[in-house]
Amino acid sequence: VVGDLVYIRKNECFPCDLVVLNTSSDNGIAYIETSTLDGEKNLKPRKALDATLGKIDETSRFTELGVIECETPNPKIYAFSGSFDYQQQNRPLDKNNLCLGGAYLRNTDWIIGVAVYTGRDTKLRQNLMSRKFKQSRVDAKVNLYVIYILGFQFTMCLVGAIGSGVWTGANWEDHKYLGDNEYGAGTQGFMTYFTYFLLLNTMLPISLIISLEVLRVIQGFFMQKDIEMYSFLRDRPCKVSSFSLNEELGMIQHIFSDKTGTLTQNKMEFKLCTIGMKTYGDEKVLGNKSYRTKSTYSNIEINFSFRTIELQNEVFNEQEKPIAPIVMEVDGEVKQLNTQKQLCEYFLKCMALCHECLTEKEHNDIKYIGQSPDEISLVDCARRVGFKYLTTRADIIELEIMDFKQPEGSLIEKYRKVCFFEFDSDRKRNSIVVEDLTTGNYILFAKGADNVMWELLSSQNPSDLVASVAKDLEVYSKRGFRTLVLAFKFLGKKEFVELKAKYDEASNSIEDKEKKLNNVAKLMEKDLFVLGCTAVEDSLQDEVPDVIKAFLDAGIKFWMLTGDKLETAENIGKTCALVEDTTHLERCPALPLEECCRTLREIKNEVTNSKSEVALIIAGGSLDYVLYDSSDSEKRLKFPEISSSPKTEKLATEVRELFLEVTEKCKTVICCRATPGQKQEVVNLMKTQTGLTTLSIGDGANDVSMILEAHVGVGLYGEEGMQAVQASDYSVGEFKFLWNLLLVHGRFNYIRQSEMIKYFFYKNLVFTIPQFYFMFYCAFSGQTVYDDWYITFYNLIFTAFPLLVRAVFEKDIKLPSKSDYNLSDYALVDYSNLDNNMKILRSLPQVYDIGRENQSFRSFNFWTWVAVGVWHSLIAFFIPFSAATNEAMNSEGHSVDLWAFSITSFTVIIFLVNLKLVFHTKLWNVFHFVSIIGLSLLLYFLFILTYDLYTATPMYSTLYHLLGTGYFYASIIVCVLLVVLLDGTAYLLRILVWPTKSEELSYMSTRASSTPKSSVYNIVELRNSSSYQNPVVLSPTSGNSHEDPRRILSNNYAKQPKLDPEIDIN
Integer Cα distance of 1056 and 1058 in angstroms:
6
- Verify whether residue 527 is a known catalytic residue: no
Integer Cα distance of 517 and 864 in angstroms:
65
- The sign of the CA dihedral 449, 452, 457, 462 is positive
Residues 6 or more apart whose Cβ sits within 8 Å of residue 966 = none
The reply to whether 303 sits in an annotated binding site is no
Integer Cα distance of 249 and 694 in angstroms:
10
Q: Where are the beta strands (DSSP E) in 82-148?
A: 82-86, 89-93, 98-99, 104-106, 110-117
Integer Cα distance of 664 and 468 in angstroms:
40
CB 30 within 8 A of CB 105: yes
Residues 6 or more apart whose Cβ sits within 8 Å of residue 835 = 1008, 1009, 1011, 1016, 1017
Integer Cα distance of 102 and 2 in angstroms:
16
CB contact burial 739-771 (16+ within 10 A = b; e otherwise): bbbbbbbbbbbbbbbbbbbbbbbbbbbbbbbbb
- What string of DSSP letters covers 804-851? HHHHHH--SS-PPPGGGS-HHHHTTB-GGGS-HHHHHHHHGGGGTHHH
CB 1010 within 8 A of CB 922: no
Integer Cα distance of 380 and 175 in angstroms:
101
CB 901 within 8 A of CB 880: yes
The reply to whether 564 sits in an annotated binding site is yes
CB 412 within 8 A of CB 434: no
- Alpha carbon 579 to its chain centroid, in Å, reads 23
Integer Cα distance of 552 and 546 in angstroms:
10
The reply to whether 72 sits in an annotated binding site is no
The reply to whether 758 sits in an annotated binding site is no
The reply to whether 702 sits in an annotated binding site is yes
CB 387 within 8 A of CB 352: yes
Counted residue by residue, the chain has a size of 1066
- Alpha carbon 940 to its chain centroid, in Å, reads 45
Residues 6 or more apart whose Cβ sits within 8 Å of residue 544 = 263, 576, 577, 735, 736, 1037
Q: How far apart are the first and last CA of the chain?
A: 69
Q: Which residue is catalytic, options 258, 472, 542, 948?
A: 258
What is the residue type of 1012? P
Q: Rounded to 5 degrees, what are φ and ψ at 631?
A: -85, -10
Integer Cα distance of 513 and 636 in angstroms:
24
The reply to whether 64 sits in an annotated binding site is no
- Alpha carbon 144 to its chain centroid, in Å, reads 28
Integer Cα distance of 927 and 918 in angstroms:
13
Q: Find the Cα–Cα–Cα–Cα dihedral 886, 890, 893, 899, rounded to 10°.
A: -60
Pairing relation of β-strands 302-304 and 264-275?
A: parallel
The reply to whether 653 sits in an annotated binding site is no
The reply to whether 258 sits in an annotated binding site is yes
The reply to whether 424 sits in an annotated binding site is no
Integer Cα distance of 1030 and 1037 in angstroms:
16
The reply to whether 375 sits in an annotated binding site is yes
SS3 per-residue string spanning 412-462 = EEEEEEEEEECCCCCCCEEEEEEEECCCCCEEEEEEECHHHHHHHECCCCC
The reply to whether 91 sits in an annotated binding site is no
Integer Cα distance of 348 and 488 in angstroms:
11
Helix, strand, or coil (residue 589):
coil
* Residues in binding site: 258-260, 375, 423, 447, 482, 562-564, 673, 679, 699, 702-703
Mark the binding-site residues for Mg(2+), compressed into ranges.
258, 260, 699, 703
Annotated binding site for ATP, which residues? Answer: 258-260, 375, 423, 447, 482, 562-564, 673, 679, 702-703
**Which are the catalytic amino acids?**
258
